[in-house]
Structure 1
Amino acid sequence: MLFGKLLPREGSFFEMFNLHAQRTVDAAHAFARLVANYNDPALREKYAREVDEAERAADRVTHDVNRALHKTFITPIDREQIHSLINTMDDVADLIQDSAETMALYDVRVMTDEITRLTELGVKCCERLQEAVKMLEKIADPRTAEAALKTCEEIDRLESDADRVMRSAMSKLFREEPDVREVIKLKAIYELLETITDRCEDVANLIEGVVLENS
């Protein structure tokens, strides 16, 4: 019993998950504002900067979680689950930043309807992800576990919607865009935006695993 009391325990992993999810939502919202105000250079720069700030804040949380794992003997859920969850969550924030940076590097001039739609789906995925993450600490409650699983299912549906938008966008792009350079630019942007929803689905699958193993 004494040995157990001396073992380092960490009760803040769920808090750090929640903080990271919030930073990712911040990045997603800033990116959506960037897309909506893309024709205004000053606002575009402002929101790109907000995306960067949110992504860096998410990176710091990821670092804190990984450092805490090395110092903690008893964790609230499996260590590998914690490691996979926080790093896959961080992939989402990274991809949002990559999307903003790629638009600037490729000098994308016009926001297409498909970019707007994929951005909206990405924001919804990040918001649902935040809801699911908030439930992790209370999944011992059957109702909370069920709600978490339903939220993960919703993320899966949103990812499927993004797949359909992506396929339609690619078809339209190759059929209607005569400028090869624009095809290359927009193809890269579409793929990045769709990958955001893919990675959100990956996080949802990890959360489902945690719920099923621990509820």
Structure 2
Amino acid sequence: MFFGKLLPREGNFFELFNQHGALIADGGRSFMSMLREYSDATQREKFAAEVDGAEHAADRITAEVNRLLHRTFITPIDREQIHGLINSMDDILDLLQDVTEMLQLYDVRSIPEDALRLGEVSVRCCERVRDAVALLPKLSQPQTVEAALKTCEEIDKLESDADRIMRAAMSRLFRDELDVRELIKLKAIYEQLETISDRCEDVANLIEGIVLENS
């Protein structure tokens, strides 16, 4: 399918994807900054507000994509692919916001090193999602197809890294943490952090399918 030729007639789905992808990366960076600056209440609130703002902006883009689907007769890729991709992308920012709120609701006082490591992997996944989405309008170019598949593979590897960090974190947590309440809180937070990379992998799998079908 000739993406560039069809795009002007069909509503700019790819531009909306790009905007959403940029918000995912921005939200991820703000989230990581919040974790690093967590001991500073002012900075923590500032970066938490940025995560919240990115999530709300992304929700508006998701709603616009879904409205555009109802108004568009011919779409550049399959309708189900568009719907699945934008909603899976939205899940990533929802999770970033969820973890941000969990830290506040659970009254977490400091961020363990394992949480920082999981956060770092999550942010790298978010940035790769942005990069992969940006390649979708150029799939008529063989080098772009290769780059998109490579980026999806990188996301898969990062998700595996997050799994390993998660297993090691849980092992340390159950071995070293004597306060049961802290154990329960941190276990839930670790699990949510690891889920961010899972959702990024879901997006990568969808993009890989789109690439293979439309290149």
Q: TM-score range by the shorter chain?
A: over 0.9
Offset at residue 11 of structure 1 (A) = 3.5
Percent of pairs with identical residues: 65
Q: 2:36 matched to 1:46?
A: no
In 2, Cα distance between equivalents of 1:42 and 1:134? 34
- TM-score of the superposed pair, with normalisation by structure 1: 0.95
Q: CA deviation at 1:141?
A: 1.0
2:81 maps to a residue whose letter is Q
TM-score normalised to the size of structure 2?
0.95
Q: Check conservation: 1:122, 1:193, Cα contact below 8 A.
A: yes
The one-letter code of the counterpart of 1:29 is: R
- Matched AA of 1:161: D
Identify the residue that residue 161 of structure 2 maps to in structure 1. Answer: 161
Q: Which runs of 4+ in 1 moved over 6 A?
A: none
CA distance in 2, matches of 1:181, 1:110: 14
| Cα distance, 1:26 vs structure 2 | 1.1
RMSD across aligned C-alpha pairs, in angstroms? 0.9
Corresponding position of 2:194: 194
**Partners in 2 of 1:21 and 1:14 — Cα distance?**
10
Alignment of structure 1 residues 56-71 onto 2, 5 Å: 56-71=56-71
Unaligned ranges ≥5, structure 2:
1-7
Residue matched to 1:152: 152
1:22, distance to aligned residue in structure 2 (A)? 0.5
CA distance in 1, matches of 2:138, 2:81: 16
In the TM superposition, what is the alpha-carbon distance from 1:198 to its structure 2 partner?
Answer: 0.3
Equivalent in the alignment of 2:94: 94
* Partners of 1:11 and 1:76 within 8 A in 2: no
What displacement does 1:9 show?
A: 3.8
Quick one: distance in 2 between partners of 1:144 and 1:188? 39
CA distance in 1, matches of 2:46, 2:135: 33
Deviation, structure 1 residue 142: 1.1
How many angstroms does 1:74 deviate by? Answer: 0.4
Looking at structure 2, the residues matched to 30 and 122 of structure 1 have their Cα atoms a distance apart, in angstroms, of 12
Displacement of 1:100 in angstroms is 0.3
SS at match of 2:111: coil
User: Is 1:175 aligned to residue 175 of structure 2?
Assistant: yes
**Helix, strand or coil for the counterpart of 2:10?**
coil
- 1:134 equivalent to 2:156? Answer no
